[in-house]
């Protein structure tokens, strides 16, 4: 008689806001881990990055360098940094968001496909994906993708970054750099 029927909202679409005075090394490493740990299959994943326009070019260049250096492969290997997704259906669902992003005007900066290597041929792998999404109302910015899929959006005013960060129905965590 005393048991309650709880409803848990465990979806996530966490923001990482990178301000112009951020320690870029820390912000890059922290944002990379926040979004891609466990292949992005985490409710608290920081899968939306907002970068101040004054440091945009430097941040994006360095962030892409780090993404490209990630080792994708067998999760039982010690050197692997990203393994497969949980199922074929989930892999298909994550990859469908690439088409959604393109249809809504997003620019695929990296990834958006399977690795295509012999080592990853027998698993449900998706390359770490980075999508420039200038409109925070795009589906890829609003819906939990639950995979290695980051949107990155420039901002100029702190108030607009905070509004974009708060502009989703999820609120499990956030990063400020």
Phi (first) and psi of residue 112, to 5 degrees: 80, 20
> Is 9 known to be catalytic?
yes
* CA dist 154 → 37, 142, 148 (Å): 23, 16, 20
Of the listed 20, 43, 96, 141, which one is catalytic? 43
> Is 43 known to be catalytic?
yes
Nearest partner of 109 among 135, 130, 136, 140, judged by Cα = 130
Q: Do residues 115 and 125 lie in contact, with contact meaning Cβ atoms separated by under 8 Å?
A: yes
Rounded to whole angstroms, the Cα distance separating 91 from 84 reads 9
- Catalytically active residues are 9, 43
């Amino acid at each position: 008689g005393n048991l309650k029927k709880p409803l848990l909202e465990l979806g996530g679409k966490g923001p990482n806001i990178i301000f112009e005075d951020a320690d870029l090394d820390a912000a890059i490493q922290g944002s990379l881990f926040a979004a891609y740990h466990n292949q992005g299959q985490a409710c608290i994943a920081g899968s939306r990055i907002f970068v101040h326009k004054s440091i945009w070019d430097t941040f994006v260049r360095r962030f892409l360098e780090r993404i490209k250096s990630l080792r994708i492969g067998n999760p039982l290997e010690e050197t692997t940094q990203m393994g497969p997704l949980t199922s074929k259906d989930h892999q298909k669902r994550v990859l469908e968001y690439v088409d959604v992003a393109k249809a809504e005007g997003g620019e695929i900066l990296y990834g958006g496909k399977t690795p295509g290597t012999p080592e990853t041929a027998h698993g449900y792998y998706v390359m770490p994906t980075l999508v420039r999404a200038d409109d925070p109302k795009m589906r890829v910015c609003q819906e939990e993708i639950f995979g290695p899929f980051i949107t990155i959006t420039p901002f100029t005013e702190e108030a607009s970054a905070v509004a974009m960060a708060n502009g989703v129905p999820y609120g499990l965590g956030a990063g400020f750099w």
